[in-house]
A and B are shown apart, each in its own frame.
Chain A
């Protein structure tokens, strides 16, 4: 394999990988505060892209994206407040069914609002055929936007959880819910906040990837499956693990093309998911001890 081809595959892999990682981190944020998997996570990505595309007719691109992210955060909050907040000690299964229901509901609402057509934001820099050369390989500048924005989001999120009091309260809520209540923190607000945060992250990812992947009302499901695989692979609730696992899966998928036919690309992701579930259910980076203490 030539260096050029190697770099080309690598960039393709990093592009998919960062998108998977962002969706997986969205899963993790909500998992950490509620102990459930929010299967509507992929729909936040779709909503971010769709709203930004609609706003683009009135606003310049950066403003449209910012407002779309804010609106999606509001939708995330509303979803939590209306459907989840008032439940007293819901079982894990019930919560999962609720989020799957929400995902279908959002999808159906989207097809009625935006129709079944694909849409896309314009390229942030240049257009569909603009390319830049890196070590002999040629990629679209949008790839750098995706990778860059995802990278910045991960760093900011890390700082948020470490350095701000809200972030620390959320982590406390994840560690021990009862103890947080005793400390005077309202865990319900933290749960709402986790929905807001993961909705915002999903929406921003949905905007930067839209020029490359297009935005369609039913794109959420596919993303959720990949994101879920990555979240499990990296160890549920483990954000650093999600980034590593996302990049790993993306790169494996990209390089697999050189060995097996493209049609097997998705089979690889599912095979990895099954293997991990059988062999290391707590993920590559998660700890088995911690996993045993959790409800799901």
Chain B
């Protein structure tokens, strides 16, 4: 009896192996390295949820151009070392067609070369300019450029007559890259940076450093460049000191949870962001309007939480891959890579993408919209 049973089991195992091998042959494997937990879970968690939602939808309608999608999400917890080993694993063992992510600039820079050497398209969700400049032929990014965000902020400052500022940045890759751009571009706009400090991504009170920059009477505005919850603490500490200085933040602030965390202190913060957060205010004929409203409705209905720009990044990677697979008529890495460079005028969450051999970001400064916080909500700046 036992023998018969074990034979049946083996037979079943062999059968299932055959079935799955035939399925594998057609599947398109997409790897994702996202900071689902850890200090940068604000980025990774909505990114992973969005991707899972889109893959589920795509498979329900027959996959990407007929290829069922097999999604492999690896949680890096924001740790660059983990990202490196996951990247190698996805490229060499899982043999994925493309890698989505990582969530952060620091992690992306660690695996840029690995993706290039492994000839696997990498579609980063991180913002730093260095990801695509210098250009690596297999490395793309979908988040808006930080230099464009800096220019938006400086343009606004000039309009307000601000000439000398304090810069506070977090110590993530995003903070570091933003700080470099702020320093580099400041002379173009004739802006002087009189205080420049970096805070820890896990900081829980920053009143000492705020006291220091407040004591400098030349400071006319504060730029708080960060992608971690500590950025809300900066805003709170500034207001708690009774300091009514204009606060500018980066597109890393574009998650309503950061504004909620800062509460009343978030009111009036000015920052450049994609149009997702203010989608309902866009005119009907805007190319992104329908897509943004659709994504918001689906995501919020499914996960019972507000959409954030970061989830939008994986949305964009998915539609870019979808378009590229369709264009290439193949799921081979090389062909998909080449097809991405051919994509033009593709509306996404972050903006309207037009890639080329020289431009692996595909977005211009128009992808940004100056945004502010009013009554706990994100609204276009200047607020009506």
Interface residues of A (CB under 8 A from B): 2, 4-5, 8-9, 11-13, 15-16, 111, 115-118, 120, 127-131, 133, 137-140, 209, 212-214, 216, 218-219, 222, 253-255, 257-258, 261-263, 265-266
Contact check, B204 vs A129: say whether CB atoms are below 8 A apart: no
> Do B202 and A257 touch (CB < 8 A)?
no
* Interface band, chain B: 35 or more
Contacts from B to A (Cβ < 8 Å): 36-39, 41-42, 45, 171, 197-200, 202, 204-209, 211-212, 214-215, 229, 232-233, 236, 239-243, 257, 261-266
Take A117-B41, A140-B240, A253-B208 as given contacts and tell me if A127 and B200 are in contact as well, using a CB distance cutoff of 8 Å: no
- 18 A–B contact pairs at CB < 8 A? A9-B211, A12-B211, A116-B38, A117-B41, A120-B261, A128-B265, A128-B266, A129-B239, A137-B241, A138-B241, A138-B242, A139-B241, A140-B236, A212-B233, A222-B204, A257-B211, A262-B206, A262-B209
Q: Contacts A117-B42, A140-B240 hold; do A257 and B257 have CB atoms under 8 A apart?
A: no
- Across the interface, do B41 and A8 meet the contact criterion of CB distance under 8 Å? no
Task: Determine if B229 and A214 form an interchain contact, defined as CB atoms under 8 angstroms apart.
Answer: yes
B38 proximity list for chain A (CB < 8 A): 116, 218
A263 and B201 alpha carbons, distance in the complex (Å): 10
Give every chain B residue within 8 A of A262 (Cβ-Cβ). Answer: 197-200, 206, 208-209
Please give the distance in Å from A286's CB to the nearest CB on chain B. Answer: 28
Question: Which 5 pairs show the lowest CB-CB distances between chains A and B?
Answer: A116-B41, A213-B204, A128-B263, A8-B211, A12-B208
B242–A257 touching, CB < 8 Å: no
B209 engages A257 (CB within 8 Å) = yes
Cα–Cα distance between A120 and B258 once the two chains are bound (Å): 12
* Contacting residues, chain A, for B199 (C-beta < 8 A): 262-263
Q: Which of B205, B212, B263 contacts A15 (CB 8 A)?
A: B205
B264 and A129 form a contact (CB under 8 A): yes
Given B212, B241, B257, which contacts A117 in the complex, CB threshold below 8 Å?
A: B257
Residues of B within 8 A of A129 (CB): 236, 239-240, 263-265
How far is it, in angstroms, between the C-alpha of A257 and the C-alpha of B265 when the chains are bound? 23
Q: Is the CB of A216 within 8 A of B229?
A: yes
Which chain A residue has the least Cβ–Cβ distance from B196? A261
From B37, B39, B215, A5 is in contact (CB under 8 Å) with B215
Q: Give bound CA distance, A131 to B197, whole Å.
A: 24
Q: A8-B211, A9-B211, A12-B211 are in contact. Are A127 and B264 (CB under 8 A)?
A: yes
Contacting pair A8 B241 (CB below 8 A): yes
Task: Compute how far the CA of A270 lies from the CA of B125 in the bound complex, rounded to whole angstroms.
Answer: 34
Contacts of A8 on B, CB cut-off 8 Å? 207-208, 211, 214, 241
- Do A16 and B209 have beta carbons less than 8 Å apart? no
Looking at the assembled complex, report how far the CB atom of A174 sits from the nearest CB atom of chain B, in whole angstroms.
31
Question: How distant is the Cα of A12 from the Cα of B240 in the complex, in angstroms?
Answer: 12
CA distance A212 to B262 in the complex (A): 10
